[in-house]
């Protein structure tokens, strides 16, 4: 009976520990093997070294592929965030013919398998005689990132109290002043969340990129190609660094939000 009571009181905690352990085992493996004193192959532990962290560009093409992924991610995020925010405002604030169809269309890229999207875009580019490369990667990434931005920003707009904007207009603010001083600061967290989500999806994408990249090599493609002969430790270094940068960004955001709540 005591065991059952203890399990009943701590079942959620046990489940949470097991779930987080399952999620973070690959991260821990990647981080540990970034210190592996390996050669071309990084499949077996051969000793501890800091050499790979001191020279993360030591493996051929690893930093070039990382730079390409960052460029694609930033450019695709900027375009998708701008277009997606405008679409979100249009869908949330205006009534027009085809609004329901547009809402359905926005969800299609999110529900369609990436293999189908990648193959469809490849057929489109080939039929239009567009050479595969950096530009086609950006176009493809913008296409599926817009949906996530629209959904995120639209949810933020839906929770916005319209009386705040009405109060600003009553205080003789014009439409631009109301948008800049009231609407944009309130919707800003949703836009930032959509942009971060778009960047992470773009940087991480492999399937659609592999279909439409041609000879351009991104970091996910580099990891996939390297896996055939053993991923170099430098790739683990970069992956670990990206994880910790994202973790620090989340912690800083939570700290800033907590301070704002305390001040309020």
Report whether pLDDT(213) > 70. Answer: yes
Mean of pLDDT values over 205-214: 92
pLDDT band at 104 (very low <50, low <70, confident <90, very high): confident
Q: Give the burial class of 139: count Cβ atoms within 10 A of its Cβ; 0-12 exposed, 13-18 middle, 19 or more buried.
A: middle
- Coil, helix or strand at residue 56: coil
Q: Are residues 115 and 220 in the same domain?
A: yes
Q: Are residues 94 and 220 in the same domain?
A: yes
Q: Identify whether 239 is part of a domain.
A: no
Output phi, psi for 36, to 5 deg: -75, 130
Domain of residue 90 covers 60-231
Number of domains into which the chain is organized = 2
* Boundary of a domain, candidates 16, 33, 51: 51
CATH code: domain of residue 203: 1.10.3720.10
Q: Read out DSSP for 171-193?
A: TT--HHHHIIIIIHHHHHHHHHH
- Chain centroid to CA 68: 16
N- to C-terminal Cα separation, the chain: 47
| Residue 233 contacts residue 52 (beta carbons within 8 Å) | yes
The pTM (predicted TM-score) of the whole model is 0.84
Cβ-based neighbour number of residue 54 at 10 Å: 9
Instruction: Provide the sign of the torsion angle of the four alpha carbons 241, 244, 249, 250, taken in this order.
Output: positive
Q: Are residues 22 and 132 in the same domain?
A: no
* 98 phi-psi bin (left φ>0, alpha ψ -120 to 50, beta other): left
Q: Are residues 36 and 67 in the same domain?
A: no
Q: Identify whether 236 is part of a domain.
A: no
- Coil, helix or strand at residue 36: strand
Q: Are residues 201 and 137 in the same domain?
A: yes
Q: Are residues 88 and 70 in the same domain?
A: yes
Task: Give the per-residue pLDDT at 189.
Answer: 86
pLDDT tens, residue by residue, 146-194: 999 999 999 888 888 778 777 877 777 778 888 888 888 888 888 998 9
Q: Are residues 217 and 173 in the same domain?
A: yes
Q: Are residues 111 and 213 in the same domain?
A: yes
pLDDT tens, residue by residue, 27-67: 888 888 888 887 667 777 888 888 888 888 887 888 899 99
């Amino acid at each position: 009976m005591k065991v059952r009571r203890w399990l009943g009181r701590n079942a959620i905690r046990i489940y949470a520990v097991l779930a987080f352990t399952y999620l973070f085992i690959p991260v821990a493996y990647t981080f540990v093997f970034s210190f592996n004193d390996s050669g071309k192959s990084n499949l077996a532990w051969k000793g501890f070294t800091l050499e790979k962290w001191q020279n993360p560009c030591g493996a051929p093409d690893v930093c070039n592929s990382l730079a390409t992924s960052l460029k694609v991610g930033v450019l695709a995020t900027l375009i998708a965030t701008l277009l997606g925010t405008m679409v979100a405002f249009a869908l949330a604030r205006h009534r027009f013919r085809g609004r329901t169809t547009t809402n359905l269309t926005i969800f299609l890229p999110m529900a369609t398998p990436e293999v189908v999207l990648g193959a469809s875009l490849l057929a489109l580019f080939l039929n239009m005689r567009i050479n595969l490369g950096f530009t086609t990667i950006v176009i493809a990434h913008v296409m599926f990132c817009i949906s996530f931005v629209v959904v995120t920003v639209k949810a933020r707009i839906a929770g916005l109290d319209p009386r705040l904007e009405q109060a600003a207009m009553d205080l003789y603010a014009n439409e631009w002043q109301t948008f800049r001083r009231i609407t944009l600061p309130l919707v800003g967290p949703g836009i930032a969340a959509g942009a971060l989500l778009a960047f992470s999806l773009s940087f991480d994408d492999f399937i659609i990129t592999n279909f439409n990249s041609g000879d351009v090599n991104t970091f996910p493609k580099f990891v996939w190609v390297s896996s055939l002969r053993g991923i170099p430790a430098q790739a683990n270094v970069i992956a670990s660094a990206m994880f910790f940068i994202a973790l620090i960004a989340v912690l800083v955001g939570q700290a800033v939000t907590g301070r704002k709540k305390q001040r309020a």
